[in-house]
Homo-oligomer: A and B are copies of this chain.
Amino acid sequence: MKLGVLLFEGFELLDVFGPLEMLGQIEELSIELVSVKKGAVMSAQGPSAVAEQTLSSNACYDIILVPGGTGTRTAINSSEVIKWIAERGCNARYTASVCTGSALLAKAGLLKGKKATTNKLAFSWVCSQAKDTQWIARARWVQDANVFSSAGVSAGIDMSLALIEEIWGDQRARQVADWAEYQWNSNPDHDVFAAKHGL
């Protein structure tokens, strides 16, 4: 199986590398970082990661992962980025977003008639991207059919373990979390941040 991870300038570090720490432990899964062009892509925090593949390649992915970050405000206006998400999302077995990445899924039409969640602090902006989506404020992550969306930043780690559980089973997800010494919040409804952020 192959995972395609979207990178754009200003992506949030943990949105990408939290899930990749967990998914990277699955030997059956190969990971490819994808962006407008190959090479260094700078994160919102400054450090850069390396895109190995371009959006215009013919690569097929079983899973796509779309991060958030301040860069989503620009990426949402990129027809190339939105087209990639729409096309690859339709063909993938699973689509996953972290944080404000769900705004990009919405713009690409992947959340029509679906339930989804996003970052608390950007909630109203993300919701405005798709009126035909049932946005859930109090959730660590939301799964609707084959689309997973997580709340802000760190919630992506919990969601990625749920994705591992969905595909490879509960025992595998717990092994991965234990190996990484990560205390998995495995209940998607357990979310202390909605109230903290006034939602």
- Interface bits A46-74 vs B (CB < 8 Å: 1, else 0): 11111010000000000000000000000
State the Cβ distance, A45 to closest chain B Cβ, in Å.
Answer: 3
B45→A21 contact, CB < 8 A:
yes
State the Cβ distance, A25 to closest chain B Cβ, in Å.
Answer: 8
A and B contact pairs by CB, cutoff 8 A, 11 listed: A14-B18, A14-B21, A17-B47, A21-B154, A25-B45, A30-B46, A31-B46, A152-B179, A152-B180, A153-B181, A183-B192
Q: Which 3 A-B pairs have the closest CB atoms?
A: A24-B45, A17-B17, A14-B21
A46 in complex: contacting residue of B24, B40, B154, B196, CB < 8 Å: B24
**Chain B hits for A197, CB < 8 A:** 178
Number of residues from A at the complex interface, CB < 8 A? 44
**Chain B hits for A44, CB < 8 A:** 24
A183 nearest CB neighbor, chain B only? B192
State the Cβ distance, A127 to closest chain B Cβ, in Å.
Answer: 17
A47→B33 contact, CB < 8 A:
yes
A49 nearest CB neighbor, chain B only? B49
- Interface bits A109-131 vs B (CB < 8 Å: 1, else 0): 00000000001110000000000
State the Cβ distance, A191 to closest chain B Cβ, in Å.
Answer: 8
Residue among A16, A152, A154, A178 facing the most chain B CB atoms (10 A cut-off): A154
CA A193 to CA B16, docked complex, whole Å: 25
B18→A18 contact, CB < 8 A:
yes
